Amino acid sequence: MVTPWRVAAAVVAALAVAAALAVSGYLAFGRRAGGHGPAAVTVSATACAPGWSAPRSGLTVFTVKNTSKNTIYGIDLVGANQVLVYGDIEMLAPGTEDQMDALLPPGDYSFQCESFSGATLTSRVERVGGPRVTGAHPYVQVTSDQIQLATLAYRNSLTPWMDRLAVATGALEAAVDHDDLARARQLWLPAHLDYSRLGAAYDTFGNFNDEINGRPLGLVGGVNSPNFKGFLRLEYGLWHGQPDSQLVPVATALDHAVHGLVKQFPQMLMPANDLSLRTHEILENTLQFELTGETDEGSNTNLATAWANVQGTQLALAAITPLLQQGEPGLPASLRQGLEKMAAAFKSYEHPDGAWTPVQSLTRPEREDLDGELGSLLEQLSVVPDLLELPILPATGDQS
């Protein structure tokens, strides 16, 4: 069912564009495979798709026209269970028309047209006949309650990792403070990996993320910038021979920021869309920053961070699995299998002594294998935000 949050979706243009780009792969596939259309559909102040005729199975391009004088509509093409959405137009202004691309397997379908006042009109049910279709990815209409429950479940799953992180940065600070920099180098990686597992919440952390895990790229002075802080700044100093007099303030600030984050996190709001988006974007960032070695400040542990990022993705996926199973029952298991395989691939580069193979030392076949496997996994994960089609809702905090 179309809901009033479509107004917010229309206002947030960047998200609308991103959604359109994500769907474009399906549309291009359908057109190459030979789509039907355009098929004319109208919506008025009193009727939703009156007299529409069902096409044959496959890709159809519907041309939808709003003939009303002053009513904005959101329009969905839904399956027989009224849960799965096969095509949608977020907002259709009076007197305008737009195209809706839908890849339809055989079955029963109807249109739902909801005005922004909340009134809903429904068309008659029509049966689509024809051969079976592969590649259809309808998304599930989810409720605000479902989204909030998934987000809160995810936030709760982060609690033990955040507690571990606070303990780890405390020990790290103590080692630096006592000028035991060899010990600090041993403690740095476990602490950094604990933070790297929190990937889906990065946007929620606000300025804390820059203070805890900021990068020097773009800063005036680069690694020498006073604004370069956190784990990577400490990594640079520990592996470039800087004395404890330079590193004590860095380690102290890092531990302070982590404890501040842990304290404030229950009151921080998490945008409703973040969880599904980050399920894809955590590993997208891994491909960009870790597998290129861009974030290596001397420890040569990018592959360890990539491994922790996979674990962070697993935490996010676990929270949204019940929602995904409504529309794609087999998808969560397939994604879990892909993530487990990816984690094992990264973990294979850990040595018995706890060191990791540097990204820069990978052979060309090894690098191509990792890039290819991660790229394939990202392609699978990219459908998650579209399948859930999470509405633009107020951010979710700890409401316990």
Digit-coded pLDDT (tens) for 208-233: 999 999 999 989 999 999 999 999 99
61 within 8 A of 86, measured Cβ to Cβ:
no
Q: What mean pLDDT comes out for the span 371-388? A: 90
Tokens found for residue 292: 């290129």
How many independent structural domains does the chain possess?
A: 2
- pLDDT score at 345: 98
* 300 & 176 share domain: yes
Q: Is pLDDT of 20 > 70?
A: no
Do 173 and 41 reside in the same domain of the chain? no
Residue 201 corresponds to which tokens in the numbers above?
Answer: 């919440």
Same domain, 112 and 180: no
Residue with more model confidence, 357 or 10: 357
25-39, 56-70, 244-258, 287-301: the lowest-pLDDT one: 25-39
Residues 45 and 110 grouped into a single domain: yes
Residues 149 and 57 in one domain: no
- pLDDT by residue (tens digit) across 62-80? 999 999 999 999 999 999 8
Cα gap 140→384, rounded to integer Å: 11
> What does the pLDDT average to over 106-124?
91
Cα-flanking dihedrals φ and ψ of residue 304, to 5°?
Answer: -65, -45
What's the start-to-end Cα distance of the chain, in Å?
Answer: 29
Q: Which residues contact 271 (CB under 8 A, 6 or more apart)?
A: 203, 204, 395, 396
Instruction: Render pLDDT for 121-174 as a digit per residue (tens, 0 to 9).
Output: 999 999 999 999 988 878 877 777 888 899 999 999 999 999 999 999 999 999
Take residue 331 and report the two structure tokens written for it. 């998808």
The enclosing domain of 333 has a CATH number of: 1.20.1420.20
Confidence of residue 37 (pLDDT cuts 50, 70, 90): low
pTM: 0.76
pLDDT-derived band at 83 (thresholds 50, 70, 90) equals confident
Residues 112 and 153 in one domain: no
CATH number at residue 37: 2.60.40
By the 8 A CB rule, do 149 and 323 touch? no
The single-letter DSSP state of residue 289 is I
Residue 189 lies in a domain: yes
Do 57 and 128 meet the contact criterion of CB atoms below 8 Å apart?
Answer: yes
Q: Across residues 97-109, what is the average pLDDT?
A: 95
395 belongs to a structural domain: no
- The verdict on 56 and 160 lying in the same domain is no
So what's the pLDDT on residue 2? Answer: 41
Domain co-membership, 223 together with 235: yes
- Establish if 393 belongs to a structural domain: no
Rounded distance, CA 353 to CA 308, Å?
Answer: 18
DSSP labels, 375-390: HHHHHHHTTHHHHHT-
Helix (H) or strand (E) holding 140: strand 139-140
103 & 187 share domain: no
| Predicted pLDDT of residue 273 | 77
β strands within 3-106, DSSP E: 36-43, 58-66, 73-79, 84-92, 97-104
Beta strand pairing call for 126-128 and 107-115: antiparallel
Has residue 249 been placed in a domain? yes
112, 230: one domain: no
3-state secondary structure 214-238: CCCCCCCCHHHCCCCCCHHHHHHHH
Contact predicate 347/287, CB 8 Å: no
Do 111 and 148 belong together in one domain? no
- pLDDT tops 60 at residue 390: no
Q: Between residues 107 and 38, which one has the greater pLDDT?
A: 107
Alpha helices by DSSP H, listed for 34-143, are: none
Average pLDDT over every residue of 307-328: 92
Alpha helices in 12-106 (DSSP H): 13-33
Q: Does 398 reside within a domain?
A: no
Tokens of 349: 């580069």
Average pLDDT over residues 93-106: 95
H or E, element range at 114: strand 107-115
Which ranges in the chain belong to alpha helices (H)?
A: 6-11, 13-33, 144-177, 181-196, 202-205, 207-213, 231-238, 244-264, 274-285, 302-327, 331-347, 364-381, 384-388
- Average pLDDT score over residue span 72-90: 89
Q: 129-148 as b/e, with b when 16 or more CB fall inside 10 Å?
A: eeeebeebbbbbbbeeebbb
Provide the token pair at 45.
């102040």
Residue 392 has pLDDT above 70, yes or no: no
Mean pLDDT within 42-53: 94
Q: Please give the pLDDT value at position 396.
A: 54
Last residue of a domain, one of 86, 120, 140: 140
> Which region among 45-49, 80-84, 396-400 has the lowest average model confidence (pLDDT)?
396-400
Question: Once rounded to an integer, what is the mean pLDDT over residues 19-36?
Answer: 39
Final residue of a structural domain among 97, 117, 140: 140
Q: Is residue 214 part of a domain?
A: yes
**Residues 270, 124: one domain?**
no
From CA 7, how far away is CA 90, in angstroms rounded? 8
Q: CA-to-CA distance for 239 and 219, rounded, in angstroms?
A: 20
How much is the average pLDDT of 365-384? 95
Print the domain residue range for 65.
6-140
Judge whether 353 lies within some domain. yes
- What amino acid occupies position 178? H
Domain boundary among 95, 115, 140: 140
Tell me if 77 sits within 8 A of 102, measured CB to CB: yes
Classify residue 396: in a domain, yes or no: no
Contacts of 184 (CB under 8 A, 6+ apart): 172, 175, 176, 234, 238, 247, 251
Least confident range of 43-47, 149-153, 270-274, 395-399: 395-399
Token pair belonging to 242: 């800087």
Strand partners, 123: none
